[in-house]
Structure 1
Amino acid sequence: MPRTTRTARTTRLAGAAALALAAALTLSACGSSGGGSTAAKVTQQKDDSPYQGTKLAKNFEKPDLQLTDTSGQPYDLRQQTNGKATLLFFGYTSCPDVCPTTMGDIGVAMKALSPEDRKKINVVFVSTDPQRDTPKVLRTWLDSMGTDFIGLTGDLSKVKTAARSLGIMIEDPVVNADGTVTSTHGAQVLAFLPSDDKAHVLYMSGTEEKTYEHDLPLLAKGVAA
C-alpha cells in the first residue's frame, strides 16, 4: 500500500459570508511522514449560543447523498439520519493525524454521554478516498473510535458535490511520483440539529475534546444554537 505524505494549506470556505467568522477554514492533506501545518485562525463573533462550537450564520441543508455503508448496504444520508442530531465529517482512514484525532476526540466525548443520549446522535464519517476505503476498511477503522459510528464510501464525485454544498472543499487523491499519496480535504465538522436537519454549529480542525464533551449533550437534547 502506498504511503501518504502530509501537507496543509488554508482556503476560504465556499460561501464564507454564510459564517459568522473572520477567517479562512483549513484544508488538510493528511499523511504519514509528518510535515508542516498551517491551521487557520478563527475569530468567533460573540453571540448567545449555548454551544462552544461556532454558531453558523447560515444553516446549511443536510446533503442529499446516497452512498454505501460499512455493511455494504445503500445509505441515504438525508433520510436515514432524519430527525436525529448528526455530526458530519469528511476524511479518510489512512490519514494519521487530522482524521483519527478528530474522530477519536468525538468518540471519547460520545462515551461520556449516557446511553440514552448516545442513541440520539449520529456520527457520520464520509470517505474522501473511496478507492482505498472499502466498507470493511472503514468499519475496522471506525470501531476503534465508536462501534456505532456510521461510515460511508462510494462515488467521489457525489462526495465532493455534497461537501461543496456545505462549503467544504475536497480534492482528488494524488499519487505522487515517488508513489506516495496526498489527499486534501476540509477538516471541519458540522453539527445538524434534529429540529430541522440543518447544520447550526461548526467545529474547526483542532477543536478540543472538552468542547465536544460540552456540546454533545446539548445536541442530544436538540437545544437550539
Structure 2
Amino acid sequence: MRTTRVTAAALAVTAALTLSACGGSTGKTPVAEVNAPSRTKAATVLDRPFEKPDLVLTDTRGTSFDLRARTKGKPTLIYFGYTNCPDVCPLTMSNIAIAKKALPKADQDTVQVVFVTTDPERDTPDSLGKWLKAQDPGFIGLTGDFKAIQAGARSMGIGIDPPKKEKDGSIVSMHGAQVIAFSPKTDEGYVLYGEDTTADDYTKDLPKLIKGENP
C-alpha cells in the first residue's frame, strides 16, 4: 500500500478549509496542533493520536453522558455537527449508517457512533434524538454547554464557531467536518476522515477500525 507523508501545517490548512462545510469560511484554523499523518485512500492515519475528549454532556434521553467512560474500550467514531445542517452533516451520518448496517450484528452492537452537536441551543436532547433515529437508532447524540463542546473539538484539531444568524434569518453553525476514529485497544483517535469520505470507504474500513487496526 502506498502512503504519502504530509506536514502538520498542510493538514491544518485542510482542517481549516473544512470549517466552511456548513456555510462559508471563517479563515480560522483549529487551535490544537495537528499531527503529521500517513495517508491512505480515504483515511488519514495519525502519527500522534488524539486523546478522547474529556466531555460530560447530555444524551438524547436527557441523562448525563461521560464520553470517555461510556466509550472506553470500544471502537468509536466521533463527529461534530448540527441537525439543521443542509448538507454535510446528514450525508456524513448517512454514509456511516450505511457502513454500519453492512457489519455483522455483533459488530454493529460494538461500534459506537457519537454525534456531538455544535448548535446546542437548538439541538435539544429530544430534537437531536429524533434526527439521529432517522439515521440509525444506535447512534449516540450529545448536547450541552457550547464552550465545553468547542474545547473538546479543538483538542482534536477540529474548529467550531458559535452559531450565528445570517442576513436571511437562517442560523449557521460553522464547524470542521472531520470524523475521528478511536481505537478500542488504546482509546486514542488514530484515524481521521474528511467530508469527501463515501459510504463505500467507511464500509471498507469499519471492520479494521473495530479491531483497532490501520485501515
Q: Under a length normalisation based on structure 2, what TM-score does the superposition of the two structures give?
A: 0.85
The match for 1:184 among 155, 174, 193 is: 174
Go from structure 1 to structure 2 and tell me whether the alpha carbon gap of 1:169 and 1:46 turns closer, same or farther (over 3 Å shift): closer
Residue 81 of structure 1 corresponds to 71
Go from structure 1 to structure 2 and tell me whether the alpha carbon gap of 1:55 and 1:68 turns closer, same or farther (over 3 Å shift): same
How many equivalent residue pairs?
Answer: 198
Go from structure 1 to structure 2 and tell me whether the alpha carbon gap of 1:220 and 1:182 turns closer, same or farther (over 3 Å shift): same
Residue 29 of structure 2 corresponds to none
2:16 maps to 1:30: no
2:198 maps to 1:208: yes
Matches within 5 A, 1:19-168: 21=11, 24-25=14-15, 26-30=18-22, 52-168=42-158
| Contact persistence 2:8–2:37 (CA under 8 A) | no
Instruction: Report the alpha carbon displacement of residue 54 of structure 1 after superposing the two structures with TM.
Output: 1.1
- 1:185 alignment partner, SS class: coil
| Contact persistence 2:37–2:47 (CA under 8 A) | no
Q: CA RMSD in A?
A: 2.4
Q: Which has the higher helix share?
A: 2
| Counterpart residue identity of residue 200, structure 1 | Y
| Contact persistence 2:82–2:89 (CA under 8 A) | yes
The match for 1:195 among 179, 185, 189 is: 185
Which whole-Å deviations, capped at 9, do the CAs of 1:35-83 have from their partners, x for residues lacking one?
A: 89xxxxxxx9766x7x841111210000000100000000000000000
- 1:56 alignment partner, SS class: strand
Q: How much identity, in percent, do the aligned residues show?
A: 51
Moved over 6 A (4+): none
| Contact persistence 1:18–1:56 (CA under 8 A) | no
Go from structure 1 to structure 2 and tell me whether the alpha carbon gap of 1:52 and 1:177 turns closer, same or farther (over 3 Å shift): closer
Q: Which runs of 5+ in 1 are unaligned?
A: 1-15, 37-43
| Contact persistence 2:53–2:68 (CA under 8 A) | yes
Go from structure 1 to structure 2 and tell me whether the alpha carbon gap of 1:121 and 1:205 turns closer, same or farther (over 3 Å shift): same
Q: Under a length normalisation based on structure 1, what TM-score does the superposition of the two structures give?
A: 0.81
**Higher mean displacement: 16-25 or 86-95:** 16-25
Go from structure 1 to structure 2 and tell me whether the alpha carbon gap of 1:76 and 1:19 turns closer, same or farther (over 3 Å shift): farther
Alpha-carbon distance in 1 for matches of 2:65, 2:12:
36
Instruction: Report the alpha carbon displacement of residue 224 of structure 1 after superposing the two structures with TM.
Output: 4.5
